[in-house]
Every structure is written in C-alpha cells, then in structure tokens.
Structure 1
Amino acid sequence: MTSREKALRYALLVLVLLITVGPFLWQLSTSLKSVNEDIFTATPQLLPQEPTLANYSAVLDTLPVLKYAWNSVIVAFLTITGNAIGATLAGYALARLRFRGAKLMLAAFVSTLVLPEEVTIISKLVTVQSMGLADTLAGVALPNAISMLNVLLMRTAFAAIPREMDEAAIVDGANAWQRFLRIGLPNVRGMLSVISLFAFIGAWDDFLWPLIVLTDPENLTLTVGLNYLNGTFSANPRLIAAGTMIAFIPIVIVFATLQRFFFRGVEEGAIKG
C-alpha cells in the first residue's frame, strides 16, 4: 500500500467517523450548554463554555423519565426473550431439521425482509386490537417478539455446525431436543448474543409502533414519552438534547457490556457462514 492510498483510506475513515459520531457529539454538547450560551451561533461551538447538568435535572423534573424507562425495559425484556427463544427454535428447525415445505418457509421468511414496516403496520394494529392487547406493553412487544432477520441469522449459525456432529448424536440415540440443547445451543452462543443485542436496540429505539399502540400516559415508553419535551408552541433544544442522551445512555451501557460477545458472534458467523 502506497502512502497516498493509506492517506486516502484514513481520510475516508475520518469522514465516516464525522458523519456517524458527529451528530451524537453535537447532541451531547447541546445538552451540557447553559441558558446563557447561544446554540444558534453562525460558528458552531462544540465545547460548552459553561458546562452544566441542569438540563438533565429539568428533564427529570418535567417528565416521569424513570417510569417511561421502566416501561421500555419491560418491552425490551419481552422482545429479547421472544427473539432468544422463538428465533433460535425457528432457526434450528430451518437449518437442522428436514420436513416438507422447509425451502418454501425459508423463502417466506426472506420475502418479509423486503417489506417496509409501514406496509404491515395496519394489519399488526388490527391483530393487536383483536387480541385485546391495545394500549399495553405486551401489545408493543408482540409484533417484534420474533424478528425475521434474527431467524435467518440463527439459521446461518446453526447451518455452520458440521452435520457429522448430528449424525454421531443420532447414532448415540439423541433426539431432536437433545441435539438442539447439547450440540446446537453451545455452538451458537455468540450469534445468540448478537440477536439479543439487535432485539434490545430495536425495542428501545422504536418510536412509531409504540406511538400508535399506546394512549395511556402511564404506559408510554421512553422514546414516546420524551416527545413531550417538544412543545406545540415552544421547544428548548437543550432539554430535547438532554432527553435524547438519557435515552441513548442505556444502549451505550448494554453495548459496552456485551461488545465482547457481540464481536465474537459476528466473527463466528463470518468464519463459519
């Protein structure tokens, strides 16, 4: 690699870094600026002149953030549990079991990935209402309890396990459940952590679906509840930025905690798949 090519690669990396991390840093800077600082200056200032945490205190005093956060935790827990169990079982069935219509079912799973959420949102709402789960946290979590993408990721992970291991287990008298628990699961723990993280981020960041399903203020999730910081006639960008950071902090904590398992799962999928 020549020095010119290396400089070009670093320049592209810096550009991508600015595009992805830049908005986050600006939100963080805005959330720490005091009321005495002008955030609409012609020359943007990233570093606050008078850093303060008053905006975060104002958000906590304005909204029941802890209640909203707890609702989001419940939704995220239900979504993670559904994906960890449902996507794992479905992925194992598609990858390791032989039955009629397996290829047709796999094609159906793949075809759902090309459909945008807006196409199915009405049918999901009608289904949730018919089940009596409208305006409930269970109704928020149910449509995303099993993600088609997670099913395909788990299928790829299970398909990477050598067939010889299953054949040897069958010779020893192991049934499908025993092969799933003793051979399948221990070899896909990395991918399981990946889909769990995807499920958490998707459930925590979701805004449109909870906004449609939930009407009771006591059941609002964090992303929907923070929308009340944006008033009809006035809005404080400092409070909105602080609320955004409050919603973003749990994702950072979860990812920092599970990043070792996440990258291990991605690496295993890349090598075996």
Structure 2
Amino acid sequence: MTSAAAATRMPQGVVTADPGTPTLPRRRPPRRRALRVAVLGALVLATVAFVFPFVWLLSASFKPRGEVFDNRLIPQTFTLQNYVEVWQVAPMATWLVNTVIVTALAAVTVTFSSALVAWGFAYFRFPGRGPLFGLVLATMMLPGAVTMVPTYLIWKELGLVGGLTPLWGGNLFGSAFYIFLLRQFFLGLPRELFEAARLDGAGNWTIFARIAAPLCRPALILTLLFEIQAAWTDLMRPLIYLQDSSTFTVPRGLKAMLDQFGFGGEWHWEIVVTASVITTIPMILLFFLGQRHFVQGIATTGSKG
C-alpha cells in the first residue's frame, strides 16, 4: 500500500508524526505550574513557621544570659556553659528517668488494654454491642476537668498521691480514642481468617495474640507513638499528684524551673531554654524514627466502619 493510499484511509483530524522525528516532552500548562509553585511556597512558609520556634530555642540555649532575647539565630557569643549548669542547678537526670518510666508504662498499658477492648468490640457479637460502644465513645466528650476531682479522690483513698502511679495507672483501663482507632483497624481484617483459625482449634486468646495483633501492628505502633508523646509532655497530672521534686517528671520540673529562674526573680532564662531543648530532642528523634509507622498507621486505619 502506498503512502498516499494510507493517508486517505487515516481519520480526519489525526496528525501522524514521522517515525524519524524526535518527540518533544509535553510542557505543563502555565496555570498548573503556577498552582504547583503556590502550593510549594505555602508548604515552605508553613515549615518555617513550625520550625522557627525550635530553631530559636536551640540558638538561645547556646547564648549567655544577656543575649538570650536578642533574636539572633546565630549566637554572637557561643557558649556550652548552659548545658553544664542545667545539670547542676536541677536534678534533670532524675526527672528524665521518672519521665521515661511513666512514659513507658503509660504507652504499653494503654496500647495493650485498648487493643483488647477494641478486639472485643470488633470480633464478638453480643447484645447491646452498639450502644455500649457508643457509650465508650461518649466518654471522649467529657472534659478532663469534670473527672479531675473524682479521679484525685480515688487515688487519694488508695494512698498513691505523691507517687508516679496516678500518672499511668488509669491507662490500665484503656482509652476511648485508641479503642475507636484500633477497632476500625480490626474491622478491616477478613473475618474468614479468624473462623479458619477457630476451626483449627485456636482459642480466643490465640486468635488475638497470634493473628489479629500482628496484622494490627501499624495501628498498635501508631497508638504507642501517640501515647508516648502524650505522656512525655503531660503537665496537668504531675501538677496535681506530685509534690516532691525527686518524683517530678520533666514537664513538672520545667514548670518548677520556670517559677524559680524565669518568674521567681533570678531571671536565668538561659537555664530554662536549655532544659526545654533537652526535653524536646527525644520527641524529635521519636518522630524521625517512627514516621514511617506513623504514616502507615494513619493510611491503613479506618478502612472499614
């Protein structure tokens, strides 16, 4: 067939390119490029707005007392003396140990207890399951101030006020938010897998521990990370239950340092900002180490209602 005959058979409006002619890459429309630049610019501005406070705090921790508030991101007089003095003027090591203990116990207990309750609501069928689960979710609407006094009276009657137990003991009974989060993940798992395991002779605990929990690992890690951050930065409960400085957690210790060195007349703000940097760095490291699990847990949770 000749090229003239082939051209007559081609549909109208179709332009054919010579096989020997190189094809040029398509250019993005100007409007789309402008939108992309605007989005990237907004993200950069948001990043700077979120990062700037910590950068300022880090810079101030390397400045002497008279230059803390000079707003220079690069210290004019660089010193490491603040990181030496902060361990001498306050029992930072004791506070860090107490915080690690409370954080570890709070995160592990709430993850385990919430996973058990969530598994019960997701797997078992029993009368009143829906209203009972709604009642659990309704507890999230109660402000913390409503239950603050009754909870304190309970711990006082148990003789545990002044110790670390009230800071994590309540997590033994789970958290409504984490129960909801984990239940949504459990509902996304195929029920036939559990029925097959039951036919093979597996019990309820075996199904949960060896099948459901491993499949729920991203959501469990997400719950663990959430509670680690919440327990590490918690200030309200240490303010209520702790009186002795030897039992202080880091947030409670920072409050004591702020009262003494910030507003107490001594005005050693360089000590306060240095202690704040030491407190913040573990959470930043935790985010970078756990961000993959964080994103995976968010992406795979709530796939089924």
Q: Any idea what the Cα deviations from partners look like across 1:218-248, whole Å, max 9, x if unmatched?
A: 1111111122222222322221111111111
Matching residue within 282, 285, 288 for 1:250: 282
Matching residue within 193, 200, 213 for 1:172: 200
Report the counterpart of residue 32 of structure 2 in structure 1: 2
> How many pairs were matched up?
270
Matching residue within 251, 256, 266 for 1:223: 251
CA contact (8 A) 2:182 2:301 kept: no
Report the counterpart of residue 294 of structure 2 in structure 1: 262
Identity of aligned residues (%): 31
Matching residue within 166, 181, 185 for 2:213: 185
Output the CA distance in 2 between the equivalents of 1:70 and 1:7. 46
Output the CA distance in 1 between the equivalents of 2:280 and 2:196. 47
Matching residue within 238, 254, 266 for 1:210: 238
Output the CA distance in 2 between the equivalents of 1:154 and 1:67. 34
Matching residue within 143, 146, 149 for 1:119: 146
Match of 1:249, SS state, is helix
Matching residue within 62, 68, 80 for 1:32: 62
Compute the TM-score of the two structures, normalised by the length of structure 2: 0.82
Which runs of 5 or more residues in structure 2 are unaligned? 1-30
CA contact (8 A) 1:128 1:134 kept: yes
Which runs of 5 or more residues in structure 1 are unaligned? none
Matching residue within 261, 270, 273 for 1:241: 273
Which has the larger displacement, 62-71 or 100-109? 100-109
Compute the TM-score of the two structures, normalised by the length of structure 1: 0.91
Report the counterpart of residue 122 of structure 2 in structure 1: 95
CA contact (8 A) 1:124 1:143 kept: no
Structure 2 residue identity aligned to 1:167: E
CA contact (8 A) 2:181 2:302 kept: no
Match of 1:2, SS state, is helix
**Structure label with greater radius of gyration:** 2
Q: 1:68 aligned to 2:95? A: yes
Output the CA distance in 2 between the equivalents of 1:93 and 1:253. 34
Q: CA deviation at 1:255?
A: 2.8
Q: CA deviation at 1:256?
A: 2.8
Q: CA 1:157/1:270 → structure 2, altered by over 3 Å: closer, same or farther?
A: closer
Structure 1 residue identity aligned to 2:147: T
CA contact (8 A) 1:194 1:261 kept: yes
Q: 1:13 aligned to 2:43? A: yes
Output the CA distance in 2 between the equivalents of 1:220 and 1:36. 29
Output the CA distance in 1 between the equivalents of 2:138 and 2:56. 38
Output the CA distance in 2 between the equivalents of 1:77 and 1:209. 16
Q: CA deviation at 1:63?
A: 0.4
Matching residue within 223, 226, 240 for 1:198: 226
Structure 1 stretches of 4+ with a deviation exceeding 4 A read: 270-273
Kindly report which structure 2 residues correspond to 1:43-82, keeping only aligned pairs within 5 A, or say none.
44-82=71-109
Q: Any idea what the Cα deviations from partners look like across 1:117-160, whole Å, max 9, x if unmatched?
A: 22221122112112221111111112344322111111111111
Q: CA deviation at 1:36?
A: 5.2
Report the counterpart of residue 26 of structure 2 in structure 1: none
Structure 2 residue identity aligned to 1:196: L
Q: CA deviation at 1:271?
A: 5.6
CA RMSD of aligned residues (A): 1.9
